[in-house]
Amino acid sequence: MADPDCGVFDTMLACDGLVVDGPAHLGRLASSVRRLYGVPLDLAELTDCVAEAVAGTTGWHRVRVTYEPRTDDGRPRVATQVLPERPRGPWTLQVRRVAGGLGEHKWLDRSLVDAWRDPADPDTDALLVDEESLLLETGRGNVFVVRDGVVVTPPLDGRILPGVVRARVVAALDRLGIRCLERAVALAELTEADEVFVTNAIGGVRPAAACRNVGAWPHGPVTRAADDEVEAGRAHT
């Protein structure tokens, strides 16, 4: 499992010098740092540091904020990376078992998840399930399953990351009148799913095209509706 002593981080999307969902991401990071290490972050100062890091930039950027308790000053660090394009295509998933899940913090120690990644295939990700074959999340996002017009997603039970875009999707589906249930989801349910999609800060809502040895799904109407609603709501917020 992850080594908590390495620290935590958060990742945000920036477009033309403006950070998307900055307050939600930085608030989540600050909550983790306070709970794990007893350190209160100055959110106003951190927000200014992030804004300064992307000021004057154009196009898409990934913004990464890290907190490492073993560093000399213990202050968060901000780094940016240019994205030639925003990844929005379909995922391919592969089942991996993680007893107890990765937890509700975004650990800087990504050795377990990184060991499952193929750098040559960035659109493939691990689909994490627990010892009872219940869905948790993916290596880089939250997961939603659609069947007969109803959406289900694993609950925030302390075993998965409380994704910022996940929260936006749940709210968006409610506005659209699409029923969304937060409950335990068995891996077997994916074999009968009509659509599956994954959410994260950089890609937003992305369809899952297939999960190896489990099933394949189209880029369907519920995924598109959720994507459209979320993108409209999170533009430069």
d(CA 29, CA 47): 12
Question: For 160-210, what is each residue's pLDDT tens digit?
Answer: 999 999 999 999 999 999 999 999 999 999 999 999 999 999 999 999 999
Using DSSP's 3-state secondary structure scheme, residue 169 falls into helix
Among candidate residues 147, 194, 138, 189, the one with its CA nearest the CA of residue 166 = 138
User: In terms of Cα–Cα distance, which of 24, 22, 21, 13 is closest to 57?
Assistant: 13
Tokens encoding 120: 């040559």
Q: Which two tokens stand for residue 225?
A: 């509706």
Domains and CATH numbers, the chain: 4-83 (3.30.470.10), 91-234 (3.20.10.10)
pLDDT at 237: 57
236 pLDDT exceeds 90? no
Query: What is the separation, in whole angstroms, between the first and last Cα of the chain?
Result: 33
pLDDT of residue 120: 84
pLDDT (mean) for 94-107: 96
Put simply, whether the predicted model's pTM sits higher than 0.85 gets the answer yes
Reported as a pLDDT band with limits 50, 70 and 90, residue 235 is low
Answer yes or no: are the C-beta atoms of 206 and 91 closer than 8 Å: yes
pLDDT for 119 equals: 83
